[in-house]
Amino acid sequence: MYKVLFSLCILMFTACGGNGRNNSANDKINEDIKKGQILCEKVNGKACNKLGLLYIEGKYVKQSYQEAIKYFKKGCDFSNASACGNAGHFIKFYDIKKDYEKANIYLKKGCELDSGYSCRYLGFSYMNEGNMQNTLKCFEKGCILSDSTACIQLGHLYQKDKRINKDEEKAKKYYQKAFIYAQKECTNNYPLACANLGNYYLEIDYGSQDYKKAKQYFEKACNLGNGMGCNGLGFLHLKGYGIEQNNKKANKYFEKACNLNHHQACYNIANSYELGREIEQDYDKAKDYYRKSCKLGHKKACEKLKTM
């Protein structure tokens, strides 16, 4: 997803100054936004992308995915790689119409313009279609462009996916690259990278299992608003890995992660309500969470709904 947003002073179009008075600061913000809009109209794709990010965050303007997508599309039309990736991602997951074909057009352009995460999301699209040749090409380019998640996906594919030839050496190579890239990204407060590092230290397959470090990175990711990080914390508490086993804390993190649209977390909290695991048993709530998990793409949740 899009990189973590910094303060408006860093994000926007002019350096921040001001005398500390609120009115002056607000005037400065409004002035910067207007300058951004003018720059965007003057074929400045970077400015359009930044305006889109403001509408996603909703901190200085009213949050609007539709406005954000409008600016991302315009930025992409001006050949800004990040804007293309953002346009594709938000059209696919947050637009009212969810036009996957159009989303992929923007992702393809972003990937051609060397946006690593555009290549990654395009790779996921091809993987869902079963086109493994293009999947590998997209993930490989994303990894070359230092996208840690693309590298991780390549590791998973070469290690576990039956649709391609298993290659442990390639898997290890891509996991190592992912670790290096994720460390840098997490230092820059990119939440998905921090969550990836949490998984790196959680999974014994990566050869570096360390529950204490996993917790550290999951906490940072969760605090930055990443559902995978919150779900990871819930999992550690559920299993008692590296910390005292605590179902109540696990449920708290699963619920938070589900609110952040993490499909596995929605399944996990649904399971807790179904079983009454340190929470009042409630089949209606369980169904609601299974339903959300299913809508987010969790196949097991969809099957579970059929039995309830």
Q: Summarize pLDDT for 215-225 with one digit per residue, the tens.
A: 999 999 999 99
Write down the pLDDT at residue 7. Answer: 36
Q: What is the pLDDT of residues 158-212, one digit of tens each?
A: 999 999 999 999 999 999 999 999 999 999 999 999 999 999 899 866 557 899 9
Task: For residue 285, give both structure tokens.
Answer: 């709530």
Share of the chain above pLDDT 90, in %: 81
Return left, alpha or beta for 106; rule: phi > 0 is left, psi -120 to 50 is alpha, else beta. Answer: alpha
Domain identity same for 130 and 235:
no
- One domain, residues 270 and 307: yes
Q: What is the pTM of this model?
A: 0.77
The Cα 110–Cα 101 span in angstroms is 14
Highest mean pLDDT (candidates 22-26, 30-34, 203-207, 231-235)? 231-235
Same domain, 253 and 172: no
The domain boundary residue, chosen from 71, 89, 113: 113
Structural domain including 232 reads: 191-308
Q: Tell me: do 104 and 130 sit in the same domain.
A: no
Q: Is residue 307 part of a domain?
A: yes
Out of 142, 172, 188, pick the residue that ends a domain.
188
Provide the domain count of the chain. Answer: 3
Distance of CA 223 to CAs 154, 194, 271, Å? 27, 10, 24
CATH code: domain of residue 301: 1.25.40.10
Question: What's the CATH number where 159 sits?
Answer: 1.25.40
Beta carbons of 221 and 232 less than 8 angstroms apart: yes
